[in-house]
Amino acid sequence: MSTIKILLVEDERIIALDIKSSLLKFGYAVPAIFSSGEKTLEKISDIQPDLVLMDIMLKGNIDGITTAAKIRDVYNIPVVYLTSHTDEETLERAKKTEPFGYIVKPFDEKDLYTTVEIALARAKAETEIRKSLEKEKEMNELKSRFVSMVSHEFRTPMATILFSSKLLENYSHKWTEEKKRIHLNRIQSAIQQMTNLLEDILTVGQAEAGKISFNPQPIDLYNFCLEIIEDIQITWADNKHQMNFIFPENFNECKAQMDEKLLRHIFTNLLSNAVKYSPEHGQINFIINYAENNQVIFQIQDYGIGIPAEDQKHLFETFHRATNVGNISGTGLGLAIVKRAVDLHGGHIAVESEMGVGTIFTISLPLHSQLNIF
């Protein structure tokens, strides 16, 4: 464990040196002694002490209590007062700064040690509580985003299943085989939709727990991209986007090593986003280029609704959806998975977007990803 640093603020030199030698004896480090509040506030962020021992009466214009209040507000470093002033008024002022202890001079070494140790233990406990409260807040936000997504995205397929199955129950005896099949297909695709959603949730869960597997293998990038484009065109068959695949010369001979499953997540989501968030008949460009240091750059460009600047910062967070999606359905999980998949490849993802103009996602990946780079 690194040595605990205690900053001493005391204007009486002899007392200060005496305290310092006691502190050193107990194994603490004393990186500096200051005799004024001004100097303390100027230097404290460089020193980053674990604790400040603060005299109340100091040289300069601000006393120890004002200095301690600033230290608490700005730096969140625990302060223990060290003083011969014990009148009620001073004590009241000092209390308001929520000190971690109060030692009255003269004191013996054991008092000093006990007070410092209790203050350090309390500070540590408070930091832990603060951290867990922050974590809890994050979890709560995630939970409420999750609940609102699930209620949105599950409701439609559930309603479809309910509706079609009721119709089948009541009318199937009068229906043609063809009509029955339509409703059975609707039920099946609604279930498929929910299964996909659950798979995405699971993938994100695994990604967040750092449990997603990364398995780079030799891959024929050219044919792989063609296959994905075809898949997207089949899945979104009712859409009439024009997809332009633009690649460098001899790209069909490109030898790469990447994780095919993760790559599929990346391109499927980015291309389906481009389709989803741009008008029918819009152009979508899928552009590939080689770059320096054996990197390959993939760009997916659309001329759709764009992403508000405020939302761009949060795009890769789970369940985050931009404010301008209107009634276009989605879970806000796709890009969180994409980001993790890019990270695992040791790559980089960036977005450029303007509302009403369009969006470009740019991804750079090493041509030959290695296992265990992280």
Give residues in contact with Mg ion (CB under 5 A).
269, 273, 334
In terms of Cα–Cα distance, which of 30, 24, 27, 26 is closest to 8? 30
The beta-strand segments (E) located in 203-357 are 217-220, 242-246, 255-258, 283-291, 295-302, 348-354
The runs of H, that is alpha helices, within 48-108 are: 64-70, 88-96
Which of 99, 334 has the CB closer to Mg ion?
A: 334
**What Å distances lie between residue 344 and 27, 56, 299, 340, CA to CA?**
43, 54, 19, 6
**Measured between alpha carbons, how far is 200 from 197 in angstroms, rounded to an integer?**
5
Name the 3-class secondary structure at 366. Answer: strand
Which of 78, 334 has the CB closer to Mg ion?
A: 334
Which of 164, 273 has the CB closer to ligand ATP?
A: 273
Q: Per DSSP, what are the bridge partners of residue 287? A: 246, 299
Minimum CB distance to ligand ATP, residue 218 (Å): 28
From Mg ion, ligand ATP, none, which one binds at residue 304 (CB under 5 to 8 Å depending on kind)? ligand ATP
Minimum CB distance to ligand ATP, residue 228 (Å): 15
Which of 49, 306 has the CB closer to ligand ATP?
A: 306
Minimum CB distance to ligand ATP, residue 196 (Å): 8
Which of 225, 274 has the CB closer to ligand ATP?
A: 274
Write out the two tokens for 173.
Answer: 């005896």
Minimum CB distance to ligand ATP, residue 193 (Å): 10
In terms of Cα–Cα distance, which of 276, 275, 220, 222 is closest to 245? 222
Binding site for ligand ATP (CB under 6 A): 200, 269, 273-274, 277, 302, 304-307, 315, 321-322, 325, 330-336, 359
**229 CA to centre of own chain:** 30
**Measured between alpha carbons, how far is 318 from 366 in angstroms, rounded to an integer?**
25
Minimum CB distance to Mg ion, residue 63 (Å): 58
From Mg ion, ligand ATP, none, which one binds at residue 49 (CB under 5 to 8 Å depending on kind)? none
Which of 16, 337 has the CB closer to ligand ATP?
A: 337
Minimum CB distance to Mg ion, residue 334 (Å): 3
- Contact call for residues 28 and 52 (beta carbons, < 8 A): no
